[in-house]
Structure 1
Amino acid sequence: METRPFSLTSGSESRHLRIETLTRLRWLAIFGQLAAVLFVAYGLQFSLPVVICLAIIATSAILNVVVELFVPKNLRLEEQPATALLAFDVIQLSALLYFAGGIDNPFAILLLAPVTIAAVSLRSNQIFIIAALVVLSASILTAYHWPLPWRDRELLELAPLYRLALWSALLVATVFICLYAARVAGEKRDLQLALSAAELVLERQNHLSRLDGLAAAAAHELGTPLATIALVSRELSKAKLPDEFSEDIGLLNQEAQRCRTILGRLSSLANERQPPLEQVRLRHFLENVAAPFRQYPVKIEIRLNGDGEEPIVGNDPALSYGLGNFFENAVDFAKNRVILSAKWTTEEVEIDIQDDGPGFPNEILHQIGEPYLRARALRRLKAEPGAGLGLGIFISKTLLERTGAAINFGNLAEGGARIRMRWSRRRIDAART
């Protein structure tokens, strides 16, 4: 069985722009520019160098035609080619504005379009290049440009102070878009990567569950031919054979016994990693969660308190992984003790994990569960400098929420962290499903 490696698309790959996206946006800009030029020149009858403007628009159209003819539509651009194409769009629009009034033209605001695309799809270095080019173009268009198209024998001249205000507004908008759009796009990419990680963890857990069953089945199927081999080798060892064969037969008996031992382990693989049955009582489920950490130098307590019949928990990989990861974090941060407690009623099941470690920092308590959360004030893994907390908690929280859990992170009054999870009894009780 082939399994996918546990890997995510890197940040650089997730930023790559499709060439088709840029060409479509450029066609939209071309038709918009063409319509504006023709309307101003022939609809409003304003004075405008139509031939020059159409030539500038044609350069953009020629580039698009070349790209569509010779570049695959599904190509994802590296950051340098994407930056070059966006820089071309800035220069082309600036040239058009130069002959159409410069910064005085209301359509100068469209210089922000390439900045926005760069902010949501490129890295900071490339964003800076596009933003600097826009600011430089706006500065030139403020000082040098042809008159704004207007009625014959009339000249619309803006005051220098107002023109400076337009330049300042464009500069502020450029900086704001770079910071704001880049931040929002970065958070979205982080969230997508974290969700992908959660999906891969759940898939891997499901693979492990299936492999346990396959291993047990394989052990059962191989048991019969192995028993035959062992029987034949024992019979041969009783026969009178030359000494050189006796040693080989003894080795064959020894290896057959080793195979039987290995198959015995495979048969009980599910018992070692998971509950032996698909449905177990809640106490046994919690004991299986805590079992891998019993050898740690931390005291582990399991407390149960319920009203009515004890819940029956199904073999859900999302539940096992999510709860196990939370418990592992508690063991890592604890000084002396971790308490895993469960309470239930006929309507609700609640599981608490408490440790006596440093607890969650108050300043980031409301952010716990967000992906890629890092801060100097984060809890330190056994006081290790630079330890982070974020993606693992996010994955576990996402998986548990898919099982219907409501999760609350907090600190104990006496010190230490507490994670409280609540389920509807109907969602967690396998006996009712």
Structure 2
Amino acid sequence: MTPTIATAPTRVAPPGRSLRASTRETVGQQNMLQLIELRWIAVVGQILTIAFVTLVFGIDLPLLPMAFVVAGLVVLNLFSLFRPRKHGDVRNGALMLGLTVDVAALTALLYLSGGATNPFVFLYALQVTLAAVLLEAWSTWTLVAITGLCFAALTSFYVPLNLPSGSHEQLYQLHIIGMLICFVMDAALLVVFVTRINRNLRARDARLADLRQRAAEEDHIVRMGLLASGAAHELGTPLSTLSVILGDWHHVPAFQADPELLQEIEDMQAEVKRCKTIVTGILLSAGEARGESPTVSTVAGFFDELVEDWRGTRPVRGFEYRNALEDDPAIVSDSALKQIICNVLDNALEASPAWVGFTVQSDGESLLLTVRDRGPGFAPEMLGQFGKPYQSSKGRPGGGLGLFLVVNVVRKFGGRVTARNLADAGAEVILQLPMASLAIEDSHVG
């Protein structure tokens, strides 16, 4: 099982894009596609019904005018699919116009085949049902009025059915059969349509649940960031005090006379300096560092420096770093990105102290950062909840927050994180980052 945590950016269709070429992600696009699919079903049903009535019952229908009406529905469907639309979206007016044309086509077919005496007149109910689901309230009531007027008009104005001689006594039976076919068509189309609507609603609910989860995670990150920023501010003063005291001790004659003690003081100064660097990095990530400007670097330079700093401050025994980049574009050096990559490397080092591998490569549009280790790998339950807070096998309070931050920071960059256990031994974590999110924009220059 390979979990993937990704952010799918909101895609907006550019101006002039047709429905067929659109992203089909907006509600209007989905509703129009449903209407088009149902119209194809209606066209096939109308053709089969006309052929059945003509060939089986021998009823003489005005086939040429009816063929023109059915052909008009086919043209409408093709036009709806390929017509360029402003911003690619479908508005309520377009859906209402499509349903109104459907009602007009049904009225024309009913006019040519007996008017209100035709049992298929109850297909008006299907059109009203579609309007109630797809349209705004005022549009639905407008279509109700239109269908009501059409039904009333068909009671007086229509072309009577030209029944074969001797078939008048079978008219009632024919009407019952027509009502049965009409009922089956109504029921089948409504089941298909409502099933798809429910599927869309479930998908929408799933998206909303995902957004709520992300909002909760981001709120968690904000609270953690405030806590880290506050702690960094509080730690700044005692660290500065310790640095001054250690500097004074370095010049005390008693300490200068003891080389071993002097070396320990220098080690303590180095550790205090490292703590101050970490505190500065926290404030920089929180946007609170003063007098700082974005550092311009290259992809290779950024990761070479990152690896050098990481190796110099960790007890690394076996480390394999491979830079497989063909191009080396300029980027803005981001402290948050550096911090999360070091976090992944730290986790790999903790799981596999003897060896850690780090590969940087590109597939053209994305930067792929792969971290491997030879440790025991991820537990199955951790893979299933990868990137969730407090999911850790280390058994200590606060465990799992590192990967939680990694996943969310990468998601902010528009990328994703995947993790899996290797076949032989160890684990692999891949960070995929869009190059566009790291590139230098005009606003960063000058």
TM-score, normalising length: structure 2: 0.38
Q: Which has the higher contact order (CA 8 A, sep 6+)?
A: 2
